[in-house]
Structure 1
């Protein structure tokens, strides 16, 4: 690349037509054709040295992750992605980084039929910074504040040990969220980015109720068991607090919970129930308070 505008021209040449995109990259604004459902908007900024180590993983995998974390936020509200904009601050002096990054972004976006409709590019003396803003739509967005005492709690996949690779190479649970939304009444839902105990706690705070988790029922990823050999944590502690699993945790009525166990539209695990107050974990019939653990950004 010989400059910002050359890079933008290259991006425009990679952009495929899409019926929802009235104006794509190249103008002062993009224009998307509105649907009939409420719009969802989410954004995430990822930084070299905090969310990834560029020298270890390469720009293509960074692009995959940057796109996927935003699509995962849409999945958390049972949304359908419509388009994304991407802004990057590229380290000066690397002529291939931008293209490799874009190919990773496009690969993940294309797998969900999502057009990249615009953004901004810059360069500086610092490390790579990338910010993706995703737009989606949902007829009935699933929020965090609808869980009730008596609800059953489920997750969509094994948890823990994501640092061994899953945090870069995961599939946002958009299809799973939409199938669940069609099948049952989702009272509350969130994607697990900071850790199961921390993210479920967000649901409980917003819903003003408590929960009991059953330790033996929580699906633990093989990576969490591998990581235990290198740490002082148990596999369960990794599953509760590692974060960046990007599975979904959600609450439904007992009737809908029974339905999911009888005829699951996607793979799910029942991990506990909502209660009136308190946050507990029950292991071998012994119940103890559960302290939320997980990733917290320092400010």
Structure 2
């Protein structure tokens, strides 16, 4: 973009972002100012999304690409039991698509930010001859010492997942709802031991919890909530594998004590399904148990960036 176009885009973004609270310095200066909150932990998350890897045009629209760039970061804050606060947005914009394309990308992002009461407080804009690249750095807060980490799963814990899994790339990876509100409800209802969002696939993301906590797990294959979006032409084994490894579902995977787990089963406090899929064990490694009782190793399948 030319310098005038860049400044015009920034001014356009300013007109569409709410006036920040009096204690927050936002777009218009060399740096944003976020005052510290003494009783809070500051959570920081960032993700870079690239055209051709995380979305393509079509089926994505510019608005959905922008929306997803913020949504994946909101999902990370939710997984920590936090509340989103403010975001920095950086764009590498294709020169050949013009200013209206750039505005559409930002509009999708701004709309989701407003839905989750998140301030857009700054960022950077660049142009080049490559595809669209969006980077969002999101700040959130959690009560001091009360953020939920991956490292506190305990032997005997029950493992739960929200929603259903699989088929995201053909159905909802551009339109999923970050589980910020659901995480807040769970945090108020039970004592969450460990939590992660399912971005790379259930089998892979579960392994992150197990590695950080130094524990193992047994997952019940027949209890995994398989998405109805998956083709009925696939065999059950194929649909199960997709639920385990497709990724980009952005549901919450978490562990709680058996007592809290039973409380969640007796009365689900969420507006979405909540499923008990297995237990944490003291013996390291993940296993998948079939209905007949036989067990196999649960391989850490799922998305991995290759370098």
Q: What TM-score results when the alignment is normalised by the length of structure 1?
A: 0.96
Tell me, in whole angstroms, the C-alpha distance in 2 between the residues paired with 1:233 and 1:91: 42
Tell me, in whole angstroms, the C-alpha distance in 2 between the residues paired with 1:59 and 1:231: 35
Q: Secondary structure of the equivalent of 1:170?
A: coil
Alignment of 1:128-167 (within 5 A): 128-139=132-143, 140-167=146-173
In the TM superposition, residue 18 of structure 1 has moved relative to its aligned partner by 2.9
Paired residue for 1:280? 287
Paired residue for 1:190? 196
Confirm or deny that 1:265 pairs with 2:269.
yes
1:246-288 deviation per Cα after TM superposition (whole angstroms, max 9, x unaligned)? 0000000111111111122113100000011221001112211
Q: Please say which of residues 250-259 and 229-238 is displaced more in the overlay.
A: 229-238
Q: Please say which of residues 260-269 and 127-136 is displaced more in the overlay.
A: 260-269
Paired residue for 2:249? 245
In the TM superposition, residue 230 of structure 1 has moved relative to its aligned partner by 6.7
Mark the runs of 5 or more structure 2 residues left unpaired by the alignment.
none
Tell me, in whole angstroms, the C-alpha distance in 2 between the residues paired with 1:248 and 1:240: 14
Q: Secondary structure of the equivalent of 1:38?
A: strand
Say if 1:127 and 1:204 are closer, same or farther in 2 by CA, change over 3 A: same
Tell me, in whole angstroms, the C-alpha distance in 2 between the residues paired with 1:251 and 1:13: 43
1:183-204 deviation per Cα after TM superposition (whole angstroms, max 9, x unaligned)? 1111100000000000000000
Confirm or deny that 1:290 pairs with 2:292.
no
1:136-161 deviation per Cα after TM superposition (whole angstroms, max 9, x unaligned)? 00111000000011100000110000
Of 70, 73, 83, the match for 2:86: 83
Confirm or deny that 1:234 pairs with 2:238.
yes
The number of residues matched between the two structures is: 297
CA contact (8 A) 1:20 1:33 kept: no
Confirm or deny that 1:213 pairs with 2:219.
yes
Q: Secondary structure of the equivalent of 1:51?
A: coil
Tell me, in whole angstroms, the C-alpha distance in 2 between the residues paired with 1:27 and 1:230: 54
**Which structure 1 residue ranges, 4+ long, deviate > 4 Å from structure 2?**
230-233
CA contact (8 A) 1:21 1:117 kept: no
Q: What TM-score results when the alignment is normalised by the length of structure 2?
A: 0.93
Confirm or deny that 1:93 pairs with 2:99.
no
In the TM superposition, residue 21 of structure 1 has moved relative to its aligned partner by 5.5
Tell me, in whole angstroms, the C-alpha distance in 1 between the residues paired with 2:179 and 2:196: 11
1:204-243 deviation per Cα after TM superposition (whole angstroms, max 9, x unaligned)? 000000000001111010122x1x6379961110000000
CA contact (8 A) 1:20 1:32 kept: no
Tell me, in whole angstroms, the C-alpha distance in 2 between the residues paired with 1:136 and 1:53: 29
CA contact (8 A) 2:96 2:129 kept: no
CA contact (8 A) 2:91 2:125 kept: yes
In the TM superposition, residue 74 of structure 1 has moved relative to its aligned partner by 0.2
Paired residue for 2:70? 67
In the TM superposition, residue 20 of structure 1 has moved relative to its aligned partner by 6.6
Q: Please say which of residues 6-15 and 117-126 is displaced more in the overlay.
A: 6-15
